[in-house]
Amino acid sequence: MNLKNFLIVTFWLGILWKPSSAQNTDIQAWVLFNENKREQAENAIEQAIKKDPDNADLYLYNCIIKYSLLKTKESLPLFKKYFSLSDNPFPALYALSHLPILSFNGVLDKPALDFVTKCYEDPRASGTIKAYLAGILSEHYQLTYSKKGQEMIAAVSPHLQWQVVGPFDNTSGSGFDKAYPPISQPSAKSFQNKIGAEIAWRKVPAYRLDGWVDYELLNTNISNSIFYGQSFIFSPIDQTVNICIGVSGSMKAWLNDALLGQEKEERNTGFDVYNYQVTLHKGYNRICIQTGNSEINRNNFLLRITDQKFNAIPTITSTNDNQPYKKEVNLKVKQIGMFAETHYLSQISKQKDNSLPKFLLAQTYQKNGKYRDSKKIFSELLEKYPNSSIFLQFSLINARELREYETQSLLQNRLLDQDPYSYFSLESRFDEEIQKEDYSTATAILDTTEKIYGSNKNTDLNRINVLAKQNKIQELIPLVNSDYKKYQNDFRFVNLKSILEKQSNNNYEAVNILSKFNNDIIHYSCFTSLYNLYSELGLKSNMKTLLQKMSNNIPYSPYYLWNLCNFYFDNLDYKNSLKMAQQCLEFLPYSDDVHEKMGLIFEAQGDKQGALEAYKKSLYYEPFKYSVIKKIRNMEGKKNIESIFVQENISALAKNAPKKPTADENSSILLHDVQTILYPTAGTEQRTILLIKTFNSTGVTDWKEYTIPFNSYRQRLFIEKSEIIKANGSKIQADINENQIVFTSLEPGDIIHLNYRTENYSYGKLAKHFWDDFNFNYMVPSKLSKYSILAANDRKFEYKTHNTDIKPQISTLDDFTLYSWVKEENETVKNESLMPEFEDVSQSISVSTLPNWAFVADWYSDLASSKSDIESEVKETVNKLLPKYKMYSELERAKIIYNYIVGNIQYSSVSFRQGAYVPQKADKTLTTKLGDCKDLSTLFVAMCREVELNASLVLVSTRQNGHRISDLPTIDFNHCISKLKVNNQDYFIELTWNNLPFGTTTYSLKNAIFLEIPTANSTAAPDIKTYNFNQLQGTNSISHYTEITVENNNTNIKKDTYLRGFFAARGRDEYKNQKKETVEKQLLSKIANIFHGAANLNNYKFTNLENLSDTMVLNTNFSIANSVTNIGNLKVIPLTWSDGERSLEFLEDNSRFYDVDYYKRSINEQEFEQITLIIPESNKFKEIPNSTSFSFKDMMEYNISFKLIKPNILVAARTFKLNKGNISKSDYQELRKFFSKIIVEDTRQVGFQ
């Protein structure tokens, strides 16, 4: 749903309530309203008012109902009536003020302005309300070019004077609990920010009129950041005060270096939401406040010091000059609730069955950014009124703000289904039809909306929109003109009118329209539109005047200064441009953009040295400005950095490419050239050049589509060449969609030419680091492979080669060193059965600047640790599962949690490496019922911690990725699991397979590479490991107990199969939730693969198919026709082993290039089968085979035994054990002999007469 729809939601929300009597149940009108019987509710409430005209509550009810019917002109007067009758209307006023019913945002219309002023002057208003309303009024006056609001703010909420410093790293909220130096160093001269640049405490040059310290106005990039503010508060006496805080972000605060309070959840709050009663010492007191953001895109705070009635204390002053203060030893803090929240909590405790106080508290929570708390209340309200549109709409807002998009979609669909003619539903359906371009249906929906609710601003905008979409200009023009006359203070209509005039070539009339609005109201969009129109008309003087006007009226924002700077620069007025840039630096001293602009100014003035210094400062504060890097080199007269690499002649390589393959290859890589630049301090740029020849249609199929590997989260991609070179030398461009390339005209004999470049933009701990792998050879011929690194002398890296002893060619230039690894006519990687992974057999090089694996583990700990914080959803879920968890053993607790996750949360397969590394919060995974490996593992960790289990995350490079990753530190893991420590034993938990028994090892984890992520209690330094994971329950094994009864030449067979661990999961995948016909077909197919002869399935039974028991049992009863062979008087029957070996096909090669990875064939750690063969009593066995056992080194064991129980009953048992699966190629022949012997034993037949 778009933003407009959410604004429409608020049409319902305009009414808050303060009971004038102890109403403990819902009145009839409210019941009808929440049953969506709005007109009946309207009649009922009006009748109630007639009977009791002095009941304040009834006017609130009526106001809600009127507004739901869009009778907006009646709503505000009703609220005013409530205000006049209520003993304490201010909790309702606070909660209501951000909603359209009171229009307390931006410029107020006259009724709203008069009402806000009246409320502000009301002697009953607390200091919090006065300060809040003063902020609203000051914004109104400022936007209408009046200074009146400044006096109000100064009287009720005088600005404290602040120093600020930042940003520090807060990736994934990891900075919240870090003890960054500013906390304890109020006088330090410098700190290092999140990219390692030096920063310092600095004074805020100008404050927003409402007193909020807004870091968006003091820094150009606030994402994933921690900031600190400090002020020195002078108190003439020891006195008890309230320290009242509102923030956007997370918050910690200290008084005299002692912790005052903290809130980890990031919120956009209102005034005085976090309040603390403390004692100020006589003299100076230091207040330090930390705010952080990683999930929301704002970071600001307002801190007030008040008396117990929340009024400003005139005798308390502040300074942003450092002062001596007494450190607090034993700070006593009393937290005070936010007044509106406290009010409604009290009402709820007295009126448990009245839903209005809950509704109003939930609305207050929404205003204060406490969406989880609001969500909980609305969930309760929807249990009482499941069809209530207003409750569903509020729930939609909570879901949106909590980014629970699946929940949001479900709620929206539910609302559309059950109340299709609500204003919200009609608006949603209208938007949907517009998106589908079904304008006739959209128009019909709009007609219905106006018929039910009348016309308003939104319906008028929708009408204009649908007419414009259909290009019905003649109908659109009069509507725009009439709406402009009606809504001259709404920029949306003013803008439409100006656009209409402009399209009619009445440019100066368009200017007049915008100028008139701009002269009355400060509006950023109007400013932008007017400025752009001036620019189009060449009215430079008007442009400058407009910019100066905006800057003068909004002196706390550097962005109008920045616009002035650019204006002067574009008009060659470098003196004034430089002046504006210097003023910008007062707000943004660490802005790379401002310093770069100053470099351009100095360069235009001919001041080469000044330009160079400015460019270097720009690069210092943003090391990933690759254009500035190159500009600095150019100004210093240094060689173009890319020209340092040896460039191959593409035309010559293409011309001299072989016409035919030398063997049976389908294509050949003529050139694979990777050129990497490691710039000083940070920044990495990499170019890849590929030249590939196709020989036949298979080669064309292999290469016609190509995906460039790059990470969109930390890289930018530039494709400079993507073409087909034909045999005659002509070139055809490929089709490109982001990193997807399609060579549509590719034919045998063509050559593909790719040349692309990536720029890295890693921040946080990874900002200065680089890691990479490069293969010299592939499974197709590779003629020339080149890997080069041009590294600044301060960028140290380690490298390691694999399956090659190639050494780098090293040369130096300026402050760089060039390392080049070049290989020609590379050996092709052979394709063998059961070969190790490609990464383990290819010739390659790994490179890394990461210092060690502990660094990588700490990096991921920072990303993930806050996501396993225990929120209310986790607590509630765990409490339902394990209300008295200490009654259970630790393993039992873990198993209950595991079963819940795999049974209720769906695994969503999203590429780990190419996606974001950060897991979603545990509570979000619970709510959405969806997550990838890292999300599910994070949820498991969070739930375990809630019941005192020691659990943590583990990064995994699965066995399919090979073992090359273990050589040098990297972040290229592709999976995440959980580690559980119980009774000093480590267990590893896979959560992405919903049929997997608890604690079972899968094929991907067998001998995988893993890195444990430390927790707060970890002591050992993390390191990379290869691990054969312990199983919590048994092994991955299959056991069969088979009874074969011979009747004539047929056999009746009873088979009991026990599937354990991994195989139990695979069995459930195969048979669970399948139709009977499908199961029977699958079973007969398996029987046919083992037994020869026509099979008939008599019956079957599953045990533990539907649960997650370690062992699943399959009982089958079937018969095989003509399974006995007659040789004269002798009858012969094979001993048909279910897992028996029948051929050496998997070891058919006589020699071996690579080692054998037997785990690719099977991870069945123990095959066991017992066959009981029963022949007719009148017969007896002719000859019993000998029992035998043998082994292959210490890796595999085989045993077969025979025992005659009765003359007609023979019991045979076969056991195969797999101890190790990685086999050296030097042992290949011995391995073949071992399996040859097994085949002999497994194919024996038994004769009887």
> What is the spatial distance between Cα 274 and Cα 257, in angstroms, rounded to a whole number?
18
Residue whose token pair is 């600001």: 300
d(CA 118, CA 120): 5
In this structure, what are the phi and psi dihedrals at residue 1248, rounded to the nearest 5 degrees?
A: -150, 155
User: Helix H segments across 905-1060?
Assistant: 922-928, 933-946
Pairwise CA distance, residues 617 & 1140, whole Å: 72
Residue 609 backbone class (left: φ over 0; alpha: ψ -120 to 50; beta: rest): alpha
Q: What is the DSSP letter of 852?
A: -
| Total residues found in the chain within this entry | 1249
**Is the Cβ–Cβ distance between 170 and 226 less than 8 Å?**
yes
User: How do beta strands 705-707 and 930-931 pair?
Assistant: unpaired
Reported as a single tens digit per residue, the pLDDT across 111-160 is 889 999 999 999 999 999 999 999 889 889 999 998 887 777 877 778 89
Number of Cβ atoms within 10 Å of the Cβ of 532:
12
d(CA 1218, CA 1035): 11
The owner of tokens 């029992």 is 1187
Per the structure block, which two tokens stand in for 774?
């490069």
Neighbours of 721 (CB within 10 A): 14
Rounded to whole angstroms, how far apart are CA atoms 890 and 887? Answer: 9
Residue 22 is predicted with a pLDDT of 46
Angle at CA of residue 397, ends 391 and 398, nearest 5°: 90
Selection from 1247, 1243, 1126, 1124 nearest residue 1181 by Cα? 1247
Phi/psi at 1216 (5° precision): -125, 125
At residue 514, the pLDDT reads: 96
Token pair belonging to 506: 């009445």
pLDDT of residue 909: 73
pLDDT score recorded for residue 1029: 56
**What's the CA angle centered on 193, arms 187 and 199, to 5 degrees?**
45
User: How far apart (Å, rounded) are the C-alpha atoms in residues 1139 and 1143?
Assistant: 12
Pairing mode of beta strands 985-989, 975-982:
antiparallel
- Can you read off the two tokens belonging to residue 42? 């309207």
pLDDT at 18: 34
d(CA 34, CA 1239): 76
Task: Please state, in angstroms and rounded to a whole number, the distance separating the CA atoms of residues 1044 and 9.
Answer: 72
Phi-psi category of residue 786: left, alpha or beta, with phi > 0 → left and psi -120 to 50 → alpha? beta
Measured distance between the N- and C-terminal CA atoms of the chain, rounded to whole angstroms:
81
Q: At what angle do helices 592-604 and 626-635 cross, to 10 degrees?
A: 30
549 residue type, one letter: K
What is the rounded CA–CA span in Å between residue 267 and residue 298?
9
Return the percent helix, strand and coil in the chain, to nearest 5: 40, 25, 35
- Is 100 buried (19+), middle (13-18) or exposed (0-12) by CB count in 10 A? middle
CB atoms within 10 A of CB 420: 12
CB 854 within 8 A of CB 862: no
Q: Is the peptide bond before 314 cis (omega within 30 degrees of 0)?
A: no
Tokens representing 784? 């020339």
User: If 0-12 CB within 10 Å is exposed, 13-18 middle and 19+ buried, where does residue 824 land?
Assistant: exposed
Chain position carrying tokens 């009597």: 21
Q: What is the pLDDT of residue 24?
A: 67
Burial class from Cβ neighbours inside 10 Å (0-12, 13-18, 19+) for residue 596 reads buried
Assign 3-class secondary structure to 932-947.
Answer: CHHHHHHHHHHHHHHC
Q: What are the Cα distances from residue 364, in Å, to 6, 15, 136, 265?
A: 17, 12, 17, 17
Burial class (CB in 10 A: 0-12, 13-18, 19+), 618: buried
Nearest to 127 by CA among 278, 248, 305, 363: 305
199 strand-pairing partners = 191
Q: Of 799, 801, 831, 796, whose CA–CA distance to 817 is shortest?
A: 796
Contact (CB, 8 A) for 597 and 204: no
Could you tell me if 563 and 547 are in contact, meaning their C-beta atoms sit under 8 angstroms apart? yes
> E-strand spans in 21-112?
none
What are the start-end ranges of the H helices in 966-1075?
1062-1071
Tell which residue, 955, 919, 915, has the closest CA to residue 936: 919
| Pairing assessment for the beta strands 1008-1012 and 715-725 based on DSSP bridges | unpaired
Cα separation, 38 vs 57, in Å, equals 18
| Pair of tokens at residue 311 | 């009024």
Structure tokens at 966: 């273990």
Question: Consecutive sets of 10 residues in the chain, 1249 residues long: mean pLDDT of each?
Answer: 34 34 75 93 94 93 84 86 94 81 80 92 94 90 87 80 97 94 97 95 93 95 96 98 97 98 95 96 98 95 96 95 95 96 95 91 95 95 95 94 89 94 93 95 96 92 95 94 94 95 93 95 93 95 95 93 97 98 98 98 97 97 95 92 92 92 90 97 95 96 94 91 94 95 95 97 89 95 97 94 96 92 94 93 96 94 86 90 94 96 87 62 89 94 95 93 89 93 90 93 87 82 70 75 94 96 95 95 94 92 96 97 90 93 89 93 92 94 94 97 95 95 95 96 93
Residue 1171: strand pairing partners: 1042, 1212
* Token duo for residue 841: 């057999």
- Using only C-alpha atoms, the chain has a radius of gyration, in whole angstroms, of 38
Amino acid found at 592: D
Domains of the chain: 3-153+352-419 (no CATH), 159-337 (2.60.120.380), 641-849 (2.60.40.3140), 854-1027 (3.10.620.30), 1037-1248 (no CATH)
pLDDT score recorded for residue 97: 77
Pair of tokens at residue 33: 């309203």
For the chain, what is the largest distance between any 2 Cα atoms, rounded to a whole number of angstroms? Answer: 120
**Residue 625, both tokens:** 């400005």
DSSP result, 713-725 = TTEEEEEEEEEEE
CA 1110 – CA 1038 distance, rounded (Å): 12
CB atoms within 10 A of CB 456: 16
The whole-number pLDDT of residue 10 equals 33
Give the ranges where 487-523 is alpha helix by DSSP (H).
Answer: 491-503, 507-520
Which pair of tokens denotes residue 873?
């959803």
Residue 336: partners with Cβ closer than 8 Å, 6 or more residues away: 242, 275, 276, 277
**464-469 contact pairs (CB < 8 A, 24+):** 464/496, 465/434, 466/434, 466/439, 466/442, 469/434, 469/437, 469/439
